[in-house]
Structure 1
Amino acid sequence: MKKILTLVVCLGLIFATLVPSYAEENAESIQKSDSEVGEVFNLTLDEAIKIGFEKNADLEIAKLELEKAEVVYKREIRDVRDMERNVDLIFSRDPITGYRAEDAAINKVLVKNGAMRRTVELNHNAAIWNVAIAENSLTYKIKKSYYDTALSYEQLKITRENFELSKKQLSIGELRLSVGMISKQQLLGLQLSLSQAQSQLDGATLAFELQAMSFKNLIGLPMDTQIFLSDPIAISSYEPIDIDKSISESNENNAMLKMSRERSELSELNFEAIKVKYPDITYRYREEALVVANAKRSAEQVRTAVEMGVRSAYLNLITAEKQIATFKLAVQQATEALRIAELSFELGQNTPTEIAQANINLMNAKKSLAQQIHAYNLALLDFEYSTGIGK
Structure 2
Amino acid sequence: MKRYNSKRLTALVLSSIFSLTVMGTAYAEISENYVRDDTERLKSTRIEEMSVPRTAAVNSASMGNPAVVDLTLLESVRMAMNNNRTIKEADTDVDSAKWARHEARRAAGPQLTWEGSARKIKGKAGDYIDQQRQMGNINYDGTKSYTNSFSVAIPIYTGGKIENSIAASEYGIDVADLTLEATKQNIRYQTTAAYYNILQNRNLIQVRQEAVDTLAAHLKNVNAQYTVGTVAKSDLLRSQVELANAQQNLINAQNNYDISVATFNNIVGLPINTIVNASDELTYTKYELSLPACTEYALYHRPDGLAADRGVKAAEAQMNAAKSGWQPSLTAQVSRNLGGDGPFKTNGSVDNNSTTYGVVATWNIFDNGITEAQVAQKKAALKKAQQEALAMDDKIQLDVQTALLNLQAAEKNIQTTKVAVDKAQEDYKIAQVRYSAGVGTNLDVMDAEQALITAQTTYITALYNYNTSKASLDMAMGIKVDLDVAGYYKNGLPGDIPVRESADKTQNLSASEAAMPKTHAIQLPHAERPSEHESANVDVATEAAMAEEAVAEAAVSETEEG
Q: Which of 403, 407, 413 does residue 313 from structure 1 map onto?
A: 403
Note if 1:42 corresponds to 2:70.
yes
**CA 1:97–1:263 in 2, change beyond 3 Å: closer, same or farther?**
farther
Distance verdict in 2 for CA 1:255–1:71, change over 3 Å = same
Equivalent residue number for residue 170 of structure 1 = 219
Is residue 2:152 matched to residue 1:104?
Answer: no
Offset at residue 66 of structure 1 (A)? 2.9
2:205 equivalent to 1:156: yes
2:182 aligned counterpart, secondary structure = helix
Deviations for 1:175-196, whole angstroms, at most 9, x for unmatched residues? Answer: 4445554345433433333222
Quickly say closer, same or farther: Cα 1:173–1:126, change in 2 above 3 A: same
SS of the aligned residue for 1:235 comes to strand
Matching residue of 1:63: 91
The aligned residue for residue 11 of structure 1 is none
Partner amino acid, structure 1, of 2:438: G
Residue 264, structure 1, aligned to residue 312, structure 2: yes
Aligned to 1:355: 445
Instruction: Show the 5 A alignment for 1:188-227.
Output: 188-227=237-276
Q: Please report how far the alpha carbon of residue 60 of structure 1 lies from its aligned counterpart in structure 2 after TM superposition.
A: 2.5
Q: For the structure 1 residues 209 and 173, does the alpha-carbon distance in structure 2 shift closer, same or farther, using more than 3 Å as the test?
A: same
Instruction: Tell me what 1:54 maps to.
Output: 82
Structure-1 separation of matches of 2:269 and 2:66: 14
CA distance in 2 between partners of 1:263 and 1:225 (Å): 41
Distance 1:302 1:217, change over 3 A: closer
| Counterpart residue number, 2:333 | none
Provide TM-score, normalisation by structure 1: 0.73
Q: 2-side partners of 1:106 and 1:120: how far apart? A: 14
Deviation at 1:221, TM superposition (A): 2.6
Amino-acid identity (%): 20
2:302 aligned residue (249, 254, 257): 254
Matched with 1:368 is 458
Q: Quick check: 205-214 or 145-154, which moved more?
A: 205-214
Kindly tell me: are residues 133 and 269 of structure 1, through their superposed partners in 2, closer, same or farther at Cα, counting changes over 3 Å?
closer
Please state which structure has a larger fraction of its residues in helix.
1
Matched residue type, 1:40: V
Question: Match for 1:371: what amino acid?
Answer: T
Deviation at 1:327, TM superposition (A): 1.6
1:59/1:131 contact within 8 Å kept: yes
1:75-94 superposed matches below 5 A:
76-77=104-105
Structure 1 pair 135–294 and aligned structure 2 pair: CA distance change class (3 A): closer
Mapped contact 1:132–1:389 kept (Cα < 8 A)? no
1:196/1:56 CA distance change after superposition, 3 Å: same
Q: Which amino acid aligns with 1:53?
A: M
- Alignment match of 1:386 (pick from 476, 480, 485): 476
Residues in 2 aligned to 1:381 and 1:127: alpha-carbon distance in whole angstroms = 24
The code of the aligned residue for 1:302 comes to M
1:133 aligns with 2:187: no
Deviations 1:336-360 (A, max 9, x none): 2212211210221222222122111
Superposed CA deviations along residues 25-44 of structure 1, whole A, max 9, x for unmatched, are: xxxxxxxxxxx622222221
Q: Which residue in the other structure is 1:12 paired with?
A: none
The one-letter code of the counterpart of 1:195 is A
Larger RCO (alpha carbons 8 Å, 6+ apart): 1
Runs of at least 5 residues in structure 1 that lack an aligned partner in the other structure = 1-35, 84-95
**CA shift at 1:241, angstroms?**
2.1
**1:97-147 deviations in whole A, cap 9, x for unaligned?**
698x9x93343xx73xxx444312112222322332332222111111111
SS in structure 1 opposite 2:70?
strand
Report deviation, 1:290.
Answer: 4.5
Distance change >3 Å, CA 56–CA 368, structure 1 → 2? same
Cα drift, residue 236 of structure 1: 3.9
> 310-319 or 46-55: which moved more?
46-55
Bigger radius of gyration = 2
The 2-side partners of 1:318 and 1:265 are apart by 38
Q: Mind listing any 5+ residue stretches in structure 2 that lack a counterpart?
A: 1-63, 111-151, 328-368, 482-562
CA distance in 2, matches of 1:132, 1:348: 66
